[in-house]
Amino acid sequence: MTGTLARSDATRSTSAPRRAWLGLGVLILPVLLVSMDMSVLYLAMPTLTAHLDPSATEQLWILDIYGFMIAGLLITMGNLGDRIGRRNILLAGAAIFGIASAVAAFAPSPEVLIAARALMGIGGATLLPSSLALISSLFPRDRDRTMAIGIWTAFFAGGSAMGPIIGGVLLHHFWWGSVFLINAPVVLVLLVFGPLLLPEHKSAGRGPLDLVSVALSIGGILPVVYAIKHFAAEGVDAYAVVIGLIGLALLVAFIRRQKTLAEPLLDLGLFRRGLFSVAVGSSTVGMLALAGMSYLTSVYLQSVTGRDALQAALLGIPMAIVVFAYSMGGGRIGHLLGVRSAFVVSSIAAAIGNLMLLGVGVHGGIGWYIAGSVVAGAGLGTMFTLVSEVAVSSVPSERAGSAVGISETSFELGNGLGLALLGSLAALVFRNGGDFAPTLGETIARAGDNAELVESARTAFVNGMHVATTAGAVLLLGMALVAAFAKRDATTR
């Protein structure tokens, strides 16, 4: 990673103009929106469930559809921004995101909320790759760009950690829709100041998007995800198997088509670079573990320990601070240890944090929760900054949008898979623990004065949380081994 982490004397003595840093401030806004909306519903789900009465399947779709729409579209939107202009697509996506947020805030039914979340995902898919790729235009010098990426990643990772906290404060004072309506003023600021402070950047000579590849990528991801969710929620049946196989077939066709195109939607050559593959794998597994842990511990703090949304949110502040701080310093850690070694160390730290949650119980262990989330946050904050640096530095500036689209897709896919796989694994253990309703909240609501049933249900949920977070730790340790022994290339340290 000499192109990103090595610093020449000339580079050290210069700094970007104030206008560039103001532009970075504008770029942070969409990052906060998208990352907060990944996690803001974790604490809102109990309140939302009481008002809209969604089924267990609808609850999963309310949580998941946003991330999966982003995952399905990020590569496309990154490539599209390279062609039609990154600022143009950023502002268009912000408008879509704002409108969809207003619809979600006042959704009268679970179906409308799911549709609004899907539309938010479409808008959000334009925001992440264009905002990170624009950093290459604003900060051409390595030293400034590394600092800017650290700040961008800190707000991305920190926003995800802050989502439940902000949601808890809003839920304490307002109705559940306020967690979406808060997006409106942020979008307005972005639409006003974006055209004034952000440069337009588009690649000359790029051909049109291959629409067949676009259709294959989206058509492949969503059926596979649906099949996974269906298996976990309702068991294996022929219908879900067929849907999953169709999705896999479309993804195979997508990969094969990319090998034949002069300008592929997904540049497979990037994955032959050992460090890029490690970065994509780390972001997927890291977000998977983080999403599963965040969702399950949010439910635990409310439905098991009996805290309200605000009290649960306040307990998340230590992790949010640590994620933010280590995201800011991730570039320096990579420079000190070497990028490959930093990936190994950060993955191990995140795994240890997940395993520390085994100390959490039905009637105690909050200290273990805080300590475990802090240790995991240090590892994940470092990891996510390294991923962003590798993505931006892996290709020339004119193709940054497409490369960033790949890395951000891995973030979003990991987030969705964390909820679908780890959340469903915990639910499976919970359901096998007794004759309960589909969720812990429903079981407690229906139990009435049956204290024994409530205690049994809470114990089963904690057991499921332990199994799921341990599974996340195992995946993180596996990723550490991959990072340690992955094929080295000329720029890998």
pLDDT at 12: 42
Alpha-helical (H) ranges within 338-365 are 339-356
pLDDT (mean) for 451-480: 92
- Predicted pLDDT at 466: 94
For residue range 346-357, what is the model confidence (pLDDT) as tens digits? 999 999 999 999
Q: Would the pLDDT of 491 be above 50?
A: no
Distance CA 295, CA 421 (A): 12
Q: What is the pLDDT of residue 374?
A: 93
User: CB of 120 within 8 A of CB of 111?
Assistant: no
pLDDT average, residue stretch 72-91: 79
Terminal CA-to-CA distance of the chain, rounded, Å? 7
Please give the model's pTM, rounded to 2 decimal places.
0.74
In the structure, what pLDDT confidence band is assigned to residue 142 with cuts at 50, 70 and 90? low
Kindly report, residue by residue over 418-447, the tens digit of the pLDDT: 877 888 888 888 888 887 877 787 888 887
pLDDT-based confidence at residue 11 (cuts at 50, 70, 90): very low
Q: Write out pLDDT tens, residues 344-393.
A: 999 999 999 999 999 999 888 899 999 999 999 999 988 888 887 776 66
**3-class DSSP assignment, residue 315:** coil
pLDDT over threshold 50, residue 10 = no
Region 43-52 average pLDDT: 75
What pLDDT score was predicted for residue 359?
A: 93
Is the predicted pLDDT of residue 46 greater than 50, yes or no? yes
Cα Rg of the chain (Å, integer): 22
Question: Predicted confidence band at 2 (pLDDT cuts at 50, 70, 90)?
Answer: very low
The residue-averaged pLDDT of 15-26 equals 78
pLDDT tens by residue, 151-210: 877 777 666 666 666 777 777 777 777 878 878 888 888 888 888 877 776 665 566 777
Neighbours of 12 (CB within 10 A): 11
Q: Residue 39 — pLDDT band, cuts 50, 70, 90? A: low
- Looking at residue 493, its pLDDT comes to 47
pLDDT band at 474 (very low <50, low <70, confident <90, very high): very high
DSSP letter assigned to residue 486: S
pLDDT the model gives residue 346? 93
C-alpha–C-alpha distance, residues 150 and 31, integer Å: 13
Selection from 268, 249, 253, 366 nearest residue 318 by Cα: 366
CA 375 – CA 377 distance, rounded (Å): 5
What pLDDT was estimated at residue 263? 76
Mean per-residue pLDDT, 334-341: 84
Q: Which residue is it, tokens 């050290």? A: 12
**Average pLDDT across the chain, whole number:** 79
pLDDT grade for 335, boundaries at 50, 70 and 90: confident
Q: What is the pLDDT of residues 198-238, one digit of tens each?
A: 777 666 556 677 788 888 888 887 787 777 667 655 667 78
Task: Please state, for a pLDDT cut of 70, what percent of the chain lies above it.
Answer: 84
